[in-house]
Chain A
């Protein structure tokens, strides 16, 4: 009975120590573990121009302007928004109100020059008829409402 108790204690304390250590490491690396920065991060942290970062948020309503293969739009998190310019092919899901993650650098003029644009999918899955019905009845909780 005695050695079993000792081994149990050993494993439990070992796992607890490990969890604390990993928790501290992850907390310390917080800024490096995020995949993208929100427009609020970019505005408030005063990201320097020409530093390669990822900017993520929602494509602002009525902000998409296409000129040939160059698209300009604004990425917003409803508190702040950043203008983005991108030349190239956009993913199928790209549209106003859609979540996107762009990678590039902030230009001197404050416009974010993106070299890639990825569409972010949300956690809602439903058939098109249900989406239409929700929109019609005013219960739409999609990304545009967030």
Chain B
């Protein structure tokens, strides 16, 4: 793991990976959207409303995936004091919050025609709203503490504590009666979604993941550079003192 700790090596790898990730994102999202919105069949119950799923479901998966990555990075930062893990978690938070907002908004737009309501306080919807607040709280805590090391420590603990919400979101539909339907793809019995709809859905999910990778690499790079600038400024302000 320490091999990855060298920021210069990380920057080199990130710059090599990013163009490929970006290109693959564009291909996956373009093909996925054309298949999903144009060529996949309407659902036997929902009709064309089902097409909202091609954005809603990958966004919801990513909301959980990004938070899980943040929790893992935070644990690595707390335990092994890995210098890039804090930055990876910090860089992920706004992206995860964005995915959560997309999932909530598209879900609401789907709920109105399908269920007959924009919003209900069932366990799934409420726990995802809490996830959004966890993301926002995490971002706010980074901004609230000035010393970067103390901020990293406090936010890492918040990210780990908030992680208990992730299994609650995933299993809320199985543990309690909810208005939200149970999982269709990630089930023990295999997907309950027809192949013609599953293909565009999975393509979109891969596209969303690649998008996250491309954006998070850029954001980590930016954090590293910002940290270097801060170090240089500090050095510059100390220099005259040394001469004396």
Number of interface residues of A (CB under 8 A): 40
Could you tell me the distance between the alpha carbons of A30 and B176 in the complex, rounded to whole angstroms? 8
When the two chains form their complex, are residues B44 and A128 in contact, meaning their CB atoms are under 8 A apart? yes
Could you tell me the distance between the alpha carbons of A90 and B182 in the complex, rounded to whole angstroms? 23
A139, CB-defined interface residue at 8 Å: no
- B125's closest neighbor in chain A, by CB? A35
When the two chains form their complex, are residues A118 and B79 in contact, meaning their CB atoms are under 8 A apart? no
Chain B residues closer than 8 Å to A91, beta-carbon distance: 114-116
When the two chains form their complex, are residues B75 and A36 in contact, meaning their CB atoms are under 8 A apart? no
* Closest-CB distance, A114 to chain B (whole angstroms): 12
Which of B13-21, B45-53, B208-216, B234-242 interfaces with chain A?
Answer: B45-53
Which of A12-20, A42-50, A62-70 interfaces with chain B?
Answer: A12-20
- B124's closest neighbor in chain A, by CB? A35
When the two chains form their complex, are residues B41 and A119 in contact, meaning their CB atoms are under 8 A apart? no
Interface of B with A (CB < 8 Å)?
A: 41-46, 50, 53, 75, 78-80, 113-117, 120-123, 160-161, 163-164, 168, 175-179, 181-184, 187, 192-194, 196-197
Could you tell me the distance between the alpha carbons of A26 and B122 in the complex, rounded to whole angstroms? 14
A123, CB-defined interface residue at 8 Å: yes
When the two chains form their complex, are residues B194 and A33 in contact, meaning their CB atoms are under 8 A apart? no
- B189's closest neighbor in chain A, by CB? A123
- A135's closest neighbor in chain B, by CB? B44
* Closest-CB distance, A27 to chain B (whole angstroms): 10
Chain B residues closer than 8 Å to A19, beta-carbon distance: 164
A122, CB-defined interface residue at 8 Å: yes
When the two chains form their complex, are residues B160 and A35 in contact, meaning their CB atoms are under 8 A apart? no
Chain B residues closer than 8 Å to A90, beta-carbon distance: 116
* Centre residue among A90, A93, A101, A126 by max chain B CB count within 10 A: A126
Contacting residue for B160 out of A4, A14, A56, CB 8 A = A14
Chain B residues closer than 8 Å to A38, beta-carbon distance: 177
Could you tell me the distance between the alpha carbons of A101 and B179 in the complex, rounded to whole angstroms? 7
Could you tell me the distance between the alpha carbons of A124 and B53 in the complex, rounded to whole angstroms? 13
Chain A residues closer than 8 Å to B75, beta-carbon distance: 11
A123 in contact with B80 given A26-B168, A38-B177 (CB within 8 Å): no
When the two chains form their complex, are residues B116 and A119 in contact, meaning their CB atoms are under 8 A apart? yes
When the two chains form their complex, are residues B168 and A93 in contact, meaning their CB atoms are under 8 A apart? no
Which residues of chain A in 99-135 are interfacial with respect to chain B, using CB atoms and an 8 Å cutoff?
A: 101, 116-132
Chain A residues closer than 8 Å to B183, beta-carbon distance: 123
When the two chains form their complex, are residues A4 and B79 in contact, meaning their CB atoms are under 8 A apart? yes
Chain B residues closer than 8 Å to A119, beta-carbon distance: 114-116
7 tightest Cβ-Cβ pairs between the two chains A and B: A127-B41, A91-B116, A131-B44, A35-B122, A126-B194, A125-B193, A128-B44
* Closest-CB distance, A87 to chain B (whole angstroms): 15
Chain A residues closer than 8 Å to B115, beta-carbon distance: 91, 93, 118-121
When the two chains form their complex, are residues B114 and A121 in contact, meaning their CB atoms are under 8 A apart? yes
* Closest-CB distance, B43 to chain A (whole angstroms): 6
